[in-house]
Chains A and B, each alone.
Chain A
Amino acid sequence: MSQDRPSINDILLTVQKFLDETGPKLTGEAKYHAQVSSYLLGICERELRLAGDFDRKEAAQLSEFLGSDAPLDAMTADLCANIRAGKYDGKFDQVLDLVLGQTIDKVKVVKPGHLAPMHRDAH
């Protein structure tokens, strides 16, 4: 299906702008919820833009680390079970690096400004 303009990212940003303009005119809980809603739309917009690449990268890393070609959620479950069973105690720092990299990508979707300067994208 080819859709007409605007793109979904454009729509999300447009609704977000509306919330950002309207929220400050509200009071109390509604004002807070407008801020949070705008925040959630920002997450949606970034996820639509970034998730495809991040998922492919994550799957490739896990596949190499685990020696598996299972689907991403199955590999993540294996990683969790292995960590809990102590299978990586001898290479804890290596697993920490792997999981940190994946977590950085999650944060790039949720709130990129939360990252330390060492992990921010150069723009």
Chain B
Amino acid sequence: MGSSSAFRFDAAMSDGFDDIRAAVKRRFGDKAEIANVVVPTLGGVNRTVLFDLIDGSATRRLVSRQETYSAEDSPFLPAAQQFRVMKVAFAEGVPVPEPVFEYDANDAMGSGFVTAFIDGETMPQRIFRGAAPEARLKIATDLARLLARLHAIDVAKVPFLEVVPDSIDVIGNYLRLFDSYAEAHPAIELGFRWLERNRPSAGRRCLVHGDFRTGNFMVGPDGVRAALDWECAHIGQAMEDFGWLCVRSWRFGQIDLPVGGFAPRAPVYAAYEAAGGERVDPQTVRFWEIFGLVRWAIYNVMQAYAHVERGRRGVAFAAMGRNTSLVEYELLMTLAGHYS
């Protein structure tokens, strides 16, 4: 299709993607086109659009993500900073969708960016169903190698993350968030008190993903293809990422396989160390796992707060508010030594 007929097509039927089309032409020239546009059903609060970029004879599948909702006290990184972190991670060889471009004021599309599309599966139950035991272990050790590479990045390459609240004091930041929701939770208080009294000595500060859990990475038959969802990236302790990955809620029913529902701990820790990661102290991972339970409970409190107090209403947010007690139960059972 020549550019003149493409123009007629666009003028005749606006398909709701003119903004993305214009943003693409602004960067790749007037002859660049988009095609095979798909909007995934469960995009959450962001606008997510998949499309082919046709640039001369080359075609690339890309993903556009735009923020459509931003709370005044959002604990998440702005899109511009996510994009910068992903660029650094990509340049350092961490498997991450290649960052392509960021939206700017000329696009008038708010905050967002475009990356390469990576094919594969993120849904935990589908990954579990599709993977034999040895494939699951491969996935878990891939995750360990990915983390070793990420944690080896010089934090001087992400100086803009130094001022992020999670970089300054991640536990203190979640306590501040928790207090802002003004709801009494004795279980969460016990979690914070335990963390206060059991904090391990600080190790080397490194770039951590911050939301590294089953559901947030793309998996193919060959193993882990990319780490997604970088909105919680910050500078912190390497073991934060392991703790979050092992939180019981992210095992999606595979409770006897603590590493994301994929594998036991020992071979994964060994793979991390073999890939150049620091020595893994199981007690330090447990500390960050307990922090992870506290954090996940607070996320649920946050959703109920937004539902009741901030007008972002919905059945899923209402259910998350009540599901806080399920996470509190796991937290207390872990503190009591019944769960590991």
Contacts and interface: CB of A to CB of B under 8 A. Distances in A.
Interface of A: 28-29, 32-33, 36-37, 39-40, 43, 73, 76-77, 79-80, 83-84, 86, 88-89, 92-93, 95-97, 99-100, 102-104, 106-107, 109-111, 114-116, 118
The majority secondary structure among interface residues of chain B is: helix
B230 to A, nearest CB: 25
A114 to B, nearest CB: 5
B325 A29 contact: no
Q: Which 6 A-B pairs have the closest CB atoms?
A: A106-B325, A83-B189, A28-B41, A100-B332, A36-B315, A99-B186
A96 B315 contact: no
Given A77-B184, A84-B192, A103-B187, A96 B325 contact: no
A53 to B, nearest CB: 17
B184 A103 contact: no
Contacts of B338: 116, 118
Contacts of A106: 325, 328-329
B336 interface: yes
The majority secondary structure among interface residues of chain A is: helix
Nearest to B196: A86
Contacts of A115: 329
Contacts of A93: 336
A87 to B, nearest CB: 10
A103 B315 contact: no
Nearest to A79: B186
Interface string B13-35: 00000000000000000000000
A104 B190 contact: no
